[in-house]
Structure 1
Amino acid sequence: MNSSNPERVTLAITGASGAQYGLRLLECLVAADRQIFFLVSRAAKVVLATEMDIELGDTAEAIEQYLTDRYRAAHKQIRVFGEDDWMSPVASGSGAPSSMVICPCSTGTLSAIACGLSNNLTQRAATVVLKERRKLIIVPREAPYSEIHLENMLKLSRMGCVMLPASPGFYNRPETVDDMVDFIVARILDQLGIAQELMPSWGSHSL
């Protein structure tokens, strides 16, 4: 499996509210038989514990085992790398997957990527994706946006990055929080070119 293989996706979860989006996306990627390179920040672990009562563990190995068991993934289908694991494939253009999703993305991470910083592996991986002209999808979760946030999003959008705010629609008449989460995850899967049945496309009911 070469570095540009579309079967590989890098998924990073940062310390913004909305951890449910990231884990639901992970679940869908596993079901779609993708290999996932998973990055999670220390702040994201706090959010996961706060929003979902999930304790991931302190080591990459423990997190990998937990997620593999939780989502019944194949052996090594989910690969977890620590924030300072500079020898991981995502740290270099010669080994990084063809696409990366940061979901949810904190505005601090957004700013770092827009400025070209590589203070942790998520930031470095995003820099690699941009320099290699591969697909970067960012799911910012903040309200309201300041001019700084908007300028950073515009800057990255002009580089080809897809900005997909966690703003679920309501034309599908969601009945649960899970329905609203699936709305965003469906849009991410669409951007990745992965078939999904979470949410029908607009107007499909009339076809």
Structure 2
Amino acid sequence: MNRLIVGITGASGVIYGIRTLEMLKSLGTVESHLIMSPSAARTIVEETDYTAEYVRSLAHEVHSFKDIGASVASGSFKTEGMLVAPCSIKTLSGIANCYADELIVRAADVCLKERRRVVLMLRETPLHAGHIALMDQATRSGAIIMPPVPAFYHRPKTLDDMVTQTVGRALDLFGIETHRVKRWKESDED
């Protein structure tokens, strides 16, 4: 079974991380390793009807935010990579500057050094030059910056449709087929 690390930070948009875990669980083919910041637990309560306990229950394994000795902190622990959904500017800064004082940044840093995919669903707008410089630096280190910008070609009917499509596209970057993405110019029968 393939493994994917999912980091959830305290930025607005925690539903992207939650939906990622829900989709991975429904697939049953990817072992999910969750790292959730303390701020993420707070944001979950503020933005959703879920609890942090529910979100933790979706993952195969949950790692403590401060446990830099966790399995995902080592390059010898094989994964497909890491999705940070949502990614706060603070976490982006840590990743861009290799400042691994907590496990989300450490796991991302390890994935980058091992040349594994790191996808950052950056949640901030508008951006100033410092944010853009951090995105540039993270990209130069191998990260993929994927702000969760909704698509409309699939004619979403609900916010849930938009979230699912965006998460499905993020999982595409790891080669994970969810069968939930409506693709351009493909019919539902394709």
Q: Which TM-score applies when normalising by structure 1?
A: 0.85
What displacement does 1:63 show? 6.5
Consecutive unaligned residues in structure 2, runs of 5 or more: none
Query: Following the alignment from structure 2 to structure 1, what is the Cα–Cα distance between the partners of residues 11 and 22?
Result: 19
Instruction: Kindly indicate whether the alpha-carbon contact (under 8 Å) linking 1:169 and 1:180 is maintained by their aligned counterparts in 2.
Output: yes
Query: Following the alignment from structure 1 to structure 2, what is the Cα–Cα distance between the partners of residues 27 and 99?
Result: 18
* Structure 2 match to 1:73: none
Bigger drift between 26-35 and 103-112 goes to: 26-35
Bigger drift between 154-163 and 182-191 goes to: 154-163
Instruction: Kindly indicate whether the alpha-carbon contact (under 8 Å) linking 2:154 and 2:183 is maintained by their aligned counterparts in 1.
Output: no
Letter in 2 for 1:21: Y
* Structure 2 match to 1:94: 76
* Structure 1 position 39 matched with structure 2 position 35: yes
Letter in 2 for 1:92: S
2:18 to 13, 19, 23: 23
2:44 to 23, 29, 48: 48
Query: Following the alignment from structure 1 to structure 2, what is the Cα–Cα distance between the partners of residues 183 and 89?
Result: 30
Query: Following the alignment from structure 1 to structure 2, what is the Cα–Cα distance between the partners of residues 196 and 84?
Result: 31
Letter in 1 for 2:12: S
Consecutive unaligned residues in structure 1, runs of 5 or more: 69-76
Superposed CA RMSD = 1.9
Secondary structure of the structure 1 residue equivalent to 2:152: coil
Letter in 2 for 1:41: S
1:186 to 162, 168, 172: 168
* Structure 1 match to 2:150: 168
Secondary structure of the structure 1 residue equivalent to 2:184: coil
Secondary structure of the structure 2 residue equivalent to 1:22: helix
Q: Which TM-score applies when normalising by structure 2?
A: 0.92
* Structure 1 match to 2:8: 13
Query: Following the alignment from structure 1 to structure 2, what is the Cα–Cα distance between the partners of residues 170 and 128?
Result: 35
What displacement does 1:87 show? 2.3
User: Structure 1 runs of 4+ off > 4 angstroms?
Assistant: none
